Amino acid sequence: MSSEGDSEMKSNLKSVRWTMPAAMVLCMSLLQSCGDSSPVSLTLPNPPPAPATPPEADLTIKVLSSRPDLVTGGDALIEVTGSQIPTRMQLNGQDVTAQFATRGNGRYMALLQGLTEGRNLVTAFAGERQSRIEVINHPEAGPLFAGEQVQPWPCLPGATDAQCSRPVSYRLLYKPTGQTTPCAQDGTPEGCGSFKPYDPANPPGDVDTTVTDQGKTVPYILRVETGSQDRGQYMFVVLYDPSKPWEPWAPQEGWNGKIYNIGGANCGTYHGETVAPDVLPFAYAFSKGYLVWSTSLSHNQFNCSPTTHAESLVMAREAIVEHYGPVRFSFGQGQSGGSIKAQQAANEFPGLYDGLNVVLSFPDIWSTLQETYDCGLMVNYWRSPQLWAPGTTWTEAEWAAAAGHQSISVCVSWNQAFIGVLAPRDIGQVCDIPADQLYDPATNPEGKRCALQDFMRSQFGLRPPERWGPIEQQIGRGFANRPLDNVGVQYGLSALRGGQISVAQFIDLNAHIGGYDIDLNIVPERMEADPAALPVVYRSGMINQATQMTMPILDLRAHDLVELHHDYRSYVMRARLDRAHGHHDNQVIWTGPIPLFATYDPRTGAPLFEIEAFGVMDGWLSAIEADESATPLAQKVVNNKPAAARDKCTDASATELPADSCPILYPYDASPRIVADQPFTDDVVKCQLKPLDPGDYGDIVFSEAQWAQLEAIYPTGVCDYTKPGVGQQAALPFLDFSAGPGGVPLPPLPTPEGWSGPVFRRR
């Protein structure tokens, strides 16, 4: 997960929670104690009662901008359909007919204003017929479904309140005729030499034109919109002619109705407002008519919480529809940490993305971090010969085999780069909490903690008293539940069976591997996951088991076996797709050497492979959109797969190689947990246990003394990977943490309106 541009980005730097008794019961049963993460109930305005038995109607009210229960900011794009035009519209019993009209597109619509916080009733009347829909409106500053918001949370300059609200701002830019200087990918608008400020009052005479993928020739003028939601920022860019109007029911012809979401790399727990990733480097998309968008809270470098990622994206999607119009389809792009954001959000909130292009991908954050802490423990052991039994030695090749890598540098990279994400103290300014508020076990034990599970305490909840350590007992409350465990794990097992390490090395490694305590200190005892965290990490999709991932996925793999972006992660996702759906026909993997993936288009400054993949995904989604058959969407994805959407291997000269040469030229390895016999899906946090069995070790023969050592190392047994992990279960999409940790799924909708176009709603 690349940290490139961290310092530059750092320098630049909507949901009523209502009382849900059933949710709280579930919370308590899962977590034993919801701690101080339980919500504050609000008294919601009661809308006027609707008629108990309205006449049978062919009137239908549709909320186009979001789910009706996830509206934010007091407005919503609404359409009423039926055989008759409504004669009257009401909002909470008040007449709002004047806001509606039959628009130029022939549809009866309004950007309905005046929604109160909480539940609202929208009613349409047409003669004797009527229809109604409940709309739940949440604050623009959040939260929506992620639960209690993280504190402290300082705002950047210009905020109008403590929730980091700020007015929406717009910039107009244009591309001068003949200008080909690419946009520098340094996160600053000034770096985009292709674009200059556009003044509508004094239009320049050298405005270039561009042709969209709909064949429309339009002025190459951009509108960059920046706004505030959920205590973070969003940024949109789209072709825009300032001399013409734009309404959500009458968008300008420069927009093709499609949107492309981009994200940042890395992983962090930054406490405070940051800026959204710059959208201007993606000229290959917006020059063709796409609206390109980003949000600061889906930038993994600063916010590694998957649920808040999704919350931010859902809110920004709503703003796009309300400001620009309904979306035909959407796809997301993300590299490294950005791929985590994209793949987790796609699985948690199906329909948010209709397709994914991911680069240097990881399936999710928590199974990725499992390798981080395994590597940290292994590196600590290997670098501490004083722990070894007399006569034990290791070569680097043996180290690498035990870790599942071709080079020990992979584990070293993980340990150096990301162990701080799990640390309660601010190692490397991961969370940037003010020093006087920061946790210190000796000087400030009640301070704010940086570790990812603490950043996500609204989802995980707090450790119950029986799990408290000395510091928790001292302060009288638990820290956040943590889904980390290595009880029963036999590190290096496959390497032992394969003769790459000896019996003595295998025993010594597992005798001294240890674990991390709640403060991330390495201790001799193995670590045990907090029971309440286990069901949450699965049912929330934080460990992405791909259960909702039937959309097209194009995975760009820059081959590398010596640092942390190693190839096997793409194939782990493939294994999860196979398990969840019986196939991986919706996933395509392109593999090439790193230099090929670093070859840039001189016109836009974007990687050539990224541009090629963008075109393939656009074609794939366009073909699905054109398929108006009654075929289920998941099958449409397979049926409409273009010829270019196939696995391929490419050499450094961009020449495609025969398919059977790929495993030889681009082999992939594994993780320490896979070497320990975990299935290649690599998603078991805590294993179920079984007794030690000599038959599990193939031809390996243990002496009586060695077997006694194993029994002492594993007194409760070893991992039984023929069974699911403890607490492992299918993800529940649209999980809502408003009522507290644990979460409950949002209710299914009677009609899947909102978000993408009609074809993509047929799921």
* Complete DSSP assignment for 67-80: -GGGEETTEEEEEE
Map tokens 């930054």 to a residue: 270
Integer angstrom CA distances of residue 455 from 6, 9, 37, 554: 20, 20, 12, 31
- Which of 17-39 are b and which e, b meaning 16 or more Cβ less than 10 Å from the residue's Cβ? bbebeebbebbbebbbbbbebbb
| Distance between CA atoms of residues 210 and 174, nearest Å | 11
Categorize the per-residue pLDDT at 48 as very low, low, confident or very high, splitting at 50, 70 and 90: very low
Q: Where are the beta strands (DSSP E) in 660-732?
A: 689-690, 718-719
Question: What pLDDT shows up at residue 198?
Answer: 97
Q: Answer yes or no: is pLDDT of 38 > 80.
A: no
Name the residue among 107, 40, 22, 120 with its Cα closest to residue 72: 120
> What's the whole-number mean pLDDT along residues 268-293?
95
Question: Reduced to 3 DSSP states, what percent helix, strand and coil does the chain have, rounded to the nearest 5?
Answer: 30, 20, 50
Categorize the per-residue pLDDT at 47 as very low, low, confident or very high, splitting at 50, 70 and 90: very low
Structure confidence by residue, pLDDT tens digits, 435-481: 999 999 999 999 999 999 999 999 999 999 999 999 999 999 999 99
Categorize the per-residue pLDDT at 132 as very low, low, confident or very high, splitting at 50, 70 and 90: very high
Name the residue among 395, 408, 447, 409 with its Cα closest to residue 425: 447
| Distance between CA atoms of residues 608 and 573, nearest Å | 24
Categorize the per-residue pLDDT at 660 as very low, low, confident or very high, splitting at 50, 70 and 90: confident
Structure confidence by residue, pLDDT tens digits, 559-609: 988 888 889 999 999 999 999 999 999 999 999 998 888 888 777 778 888
> What's the whole-number mean pLDDT along residues 112-130?
96
- Tell me which of 190 and 278 has the higher pLDDT: 278
| Distance between CA atoms of residues 671 and 667, nearest Å | 14
- Burial class of residue 117 in the structure, from the number of CB atoms within 10 Å of its CB (0-12 exposed, 13-18 middle, 19+ buried): middle
| Distance between CA atoms of residues 56 and 129, nearest Å | 7
| Distance between CA atoms of residues 31 and 537, nearest Å | 12
| Distance between CA atoms of residues 561 and 175, nearest Å | 41
Q: Strand pairing partners for 71? A: 137
Name the residue among 708, 645, 361, 658 with its Cα closest to residue 507: 708
Token pair, residue 327, equals: 């979306």
Categorize the per-residue pLDDT at 13 as very low, low, confident or very high, splitting at 50, 70 and 90: very low
Token pair, residue 302, equals: 């600063």
Global confidence as pTM: 0.90
Q: Strand pairing partners for 258? A: 329
| Distance between CA atoms of residues 309 and 292, nearest Å | 17
Q: Phi-psi category of 436—alpha, beta or left, where left has phi over 0 and alpha has psi -120 to 50?
A: alpha
Token pair, residue 75, equals: 């407005």
Task: Look over the chain and give the mean of its residue pLDDT values, rounded to a whole number.
Answer: 89
Q: Which helix (H) or strand (E) holds 538?
A: helix 533-539
For helices 396-403 and 503-512, angle between their N-to-C axes, nearest 10 degrees: 70
Contact between 84 and 129 (Cβ < 8 Å):
yes
Q: CB neighbours (10 Å) of residue 603?
A: 14
Name the residue among 656, 659, 644, 651 with its Cα closest to residue 594: 651
Question: What pLDDT shows up at residue 24?
Answer: 30
Structure confidence by residue, pLDDT tens digits, 643-655: 999 999 999 888 9
- Tell me which of 421 and 184 has the higher pLDDT: 421
3-class state of residue 416 by DSSP: helix
Phi, psi dihedrals of residue 8, rounded to the nearest 5°:
-65, -45
Contact between 484 and 527 (Cβ < 8 Å):
yes
Q: Which helix (H) or strand (E) holds 136?
A: strand 129-138
Q: Answer yes or no: is pLDDT of 503 > 50.
A: yes
Question: What pLDDT shows up at residue 45?
Answer: 39
Answer whether the bond into residue 39 is a cis peptide, omega within 30°: no
What size, in residues, is the chain? 763
- Indicate the residue type of 643: A
Tell me the chain's radius of gyration from C-alpha atoms: 27
